[in-house]
């Protein structure tokens, strides 16, 4: 279209790179990056680093100040439309005005229904040139959980499955039954870090007693994800790690008795009864209701870790937005079948977007 110059594109790419530094640390805010350019010179950059911390624009302005460089007359490249509200920080629109920015180039509009919006309009009315849509797709992808939550009020659902050469599944017990590589395992911990909640079925809890925490990669300013157990009749063992380790767990049931609920509930464990609206088949918590509940609680990304029953329920209901399938060349012998192959993923509405081989496993990334 000729609308964007090479400098524009270079600056926005850099802003996207800056934004990446906030990934997994700022939820429920989106990761955002900002670059300030004067003529052909990039004078400053910044990113939204942690919840309650400076927004990207303000971080970039602070960066320029620290370097003793003028922001007056510069162009700001931001991956998201500047906010126009007093939230945890004052409005970025005003910060840009104060800094004397002459033009704002943004990648994606901010669809957040809970903020005032109108950032671009406010800037235009103040006489600043605003151009939008540069590398929008990349920016929306980087902020996918935030965008998804803003537009649907539900978390983006990511499924992770590790499968051996014979289609047998990961024993989640990482010490005893691990067959995927160290690199794949780290990728799983990264996924957990980028997720607000991690969900398993009760059979996985009984069989593997998993922790489902982020341990192999630094958590930095991020939080441990909420652990969620789908437990139709409350069979979760009170001595399991998810119940006894003091980290937050949500156990959802549709037909458990009160005594069991009382034995599991504590300061860190919430037991919630969610009767199905209509009887579900197989019986259990209704998944649409579950996603609405998590969306209402502001959770933007849900990682489905297993096992096969849970995968098949989410895939069968067409509720998976993205899947990471880790395929190992090793055979772990007899075990539960994953029940996930290309045909299943395709009929769940997903397409294989990429194949990545960190060391020996293949990690397939499937997207809607």
Binding of residue 83 to ligand AOF (CB under 6 A): yes
Binding of residue 88 to ligand AOF (CB under 6 A): yes
**Buried b or exposed e, range 257-289, using 16+ CB within 10 angstroms:** eeebbeebeeeebebeeeebeeebeeebbbbeb
Report the candidate in 82, 83, 72 with the shortest Cα–Cα distance to residue 104: 82
Q: Which is nearer to ligand AOF, 87 or 295 (CB)?
A: 87
Binding of residue 32 to ligand AOF (CB under 6 A): yes
Number of C-beta neighbours around residue 333 at 10 A: 9
Q: Which is nearer to Zn ion, 90 or 349 (CB)?
A: 90
Contact partner, 115, from ligand AOF, Zn ion, none, Cβ < 5-8 Å per class: ligand AOF
What is the β-pairing status of strands 129-132 and 103-108? parallel
Q: Angle at Cα 27 formed by Cα 248 and Cα 97, nearest 5°? A: 150
Binding of residue 97 to ligand AOF (CB under 6 A): no
Query: Quick check: is 57 catalytic?
Result: yes
Closest CB 299 distance from ligand AOF, rounded Å: 14
Q: Which is nearer to ligand AOF, 57 or 321 (CB)?
A: 57
Closest CB 38 distance from ligand AOF, rounded Å: 21
Binding of residue 112 to ligand AOF (CB under 6 A): yes
* Residue from 3, 57, 174, 305 carrying the catalytic annotation: 57
Only segment of 25-33, 100-108, 266-274, 341-349 that touches ligand AOF (CB under 6 A):
25-33
Q: Give the contact letters, 48-87, x = binds to Zn ion (CB under 5 A), - = no.
A: -------x---------------------------x----
Q: Of the candidates 63, 110, 305, 321, which one interacts with ligand AOF according to CB under 6 A?
A: 110
- The answer to whether the CB of 175 falls within 8 A of the CB of 321 is no
User: Which residues 6+ apart lie within 8 Å of 313 measured at CB?
Assistant: 282, 284, 287
What is the β-pairing status of strands 249-253 and 226-230? parallel
Q: How far is CA 21 from the centre of its chain?
A: 14
Contact partner, 241, from Zn ion, ligand AOF, none, Cβ < 5-8 Å per class: none
Q: Of the candidates 115, 216, 332, 362, which one interacts with ligand AOF according to CB under 6 A?
A: 115
Binding of residue 48 to ligand AOF (CB under 6 A): yes
**Where are the strands (E) in the chain, listed by range?**
33-38, 41-47, 75-80, 103-108, 129-132, 156-163, 197-201, 226-230, 249-253, 269-273, 301-306, 322-327, 351-356, 362-367
Contact partner, 88, from ligand AOF, Zn ion, none, Cβ < 5-8 Å per class: ligand AOF
- The answer to whether the CB of 161 falls within 8 A of the CB of 338 is yes
Contact partner, 80, from Zn ion, ligand AOF, none, Cβ < 5-8 Å per class: ligand AOF
Report the candidate in 147, 183, 189, 186 with the shortest Cα–Cα distance to residue 301: 147
- The answer to whether the CB of 300 falls within 8 A of the CB of 136 is no
Q: Of the candidates 24, 30, 225, 306, which one interacts with ligand AOF according to CB under 6 A?
A: 30
Q: Which is nearer to Zn ion, 52 or 238 (CB)?
A: 52
Closest CB 55 distance from ligand AOF, rounded Å: 3
What are the C-alpha distances in Å from 149 to residues 27, 109, 325, 349? 11, 14, 24, 19
User: Which residues 6+ apart lie within 8 Å of 185 measured at CB?
Assistant: 174, 178, 216
- The answer to whether the CB of 268 falls within 8 A of the CB of 248 is yes
Q: Of the candidates 24, 82, 284, 308, which one interacts with ligand AOF according to CB under 6 A?
A: 82
Binding of residue 89 to ligand AOF (CB under 6 A): yes
Residue 294 backbone zone (phi > 0: left; psi -120 to 50: alpha; other: beta): alpha
Only segment of 84-92, 165-173, 241-249, 297-305 that touches ligand AOF (CB under 6 A):
84-92
Task: Give the interface with Zn ion as residue ranges (CB under 5 A).
Answer: 55, 83, 92
Task: Give the interface with ligand AOF as residue ranges (CB under 6 A).
Answer: 29-30, 32, 48, 55-57, 80, 82-83, 87-89, 92, 110, 112, 115
Which sequence positions are flagged as catalytic?
A: 57
């Amino acid at each position: 279209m000729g609308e964007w110059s090479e400098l524009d594109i270079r600056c926005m790419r850099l802003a996207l790179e800056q934004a990446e530094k906030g990934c997994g640390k700022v939820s429920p805010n989106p990761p955002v990056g900002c670059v300030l350019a004067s003529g052909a010179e990039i004078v400053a950059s910044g990113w939204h680093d942690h919840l309650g911390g400076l927004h990207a624009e303000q971080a970039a302005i602070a960066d320029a100040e620290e370097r003793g460089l003028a922001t007056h007359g510069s162009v700001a490249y931001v991956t998201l439309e500047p906010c126009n509200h007093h939230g945890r920080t004052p409005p970025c629109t005003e910060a840009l005005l104060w800094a004397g920015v002459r033009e704002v180039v943004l990648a994606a509009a901010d669809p957040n229904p809970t903020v005032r919006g109108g950032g671009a309009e406010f800037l235009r009315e103040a006489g600043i040139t605003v151009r939008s849509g540069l590398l929008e797709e990349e920016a929306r992808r980087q902020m996918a959980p935030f965008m998804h939550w803003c537009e649907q009020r539900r978390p983006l659902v990511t499924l992770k499955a590790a499968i051996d050469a014979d289609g047998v599944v990961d024993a989640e017990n990482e010490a005893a039954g691990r067959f995927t590589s160290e690199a794949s395992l780290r990728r799983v911990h990264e996924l957990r870090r980028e997720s607000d909640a991690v969900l398993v079925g009760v059979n996985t809890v009984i069989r593997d007693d998993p922790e489902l925490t982020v341990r192999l990669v630094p958590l930095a300013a991020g939080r441990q994800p909420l652990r969620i157990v789908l437990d139709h009749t409350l069979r979760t063992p009170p001595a399991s790690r998810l119940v006894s380790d003091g980290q937050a767990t949500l156990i959802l049931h549709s037909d458990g008795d009160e005594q069991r609920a009382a034995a599991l509930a504590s300061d860190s464990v919430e037991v919630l009864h969610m009767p199905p609206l209509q009887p579900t088949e197989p019986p259990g918590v209704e998944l649409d209701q579950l996603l609405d509940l998590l969306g209402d609680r502001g959770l933007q990304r849900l990682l489905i870790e297993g096992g096969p029953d849970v995968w098949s329920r989410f895939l069968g209901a067409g509720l998976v937005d993205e899947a990471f399938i880790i395929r190992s060349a090793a055979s772990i012998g007899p075990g539960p079948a994953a029940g996930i192959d290309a045909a299943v993923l395709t009929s769940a509405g997903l397409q294989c977007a990429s194949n990545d081989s960190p060391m020996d496993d293949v990690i397939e990334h499937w997207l809607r």
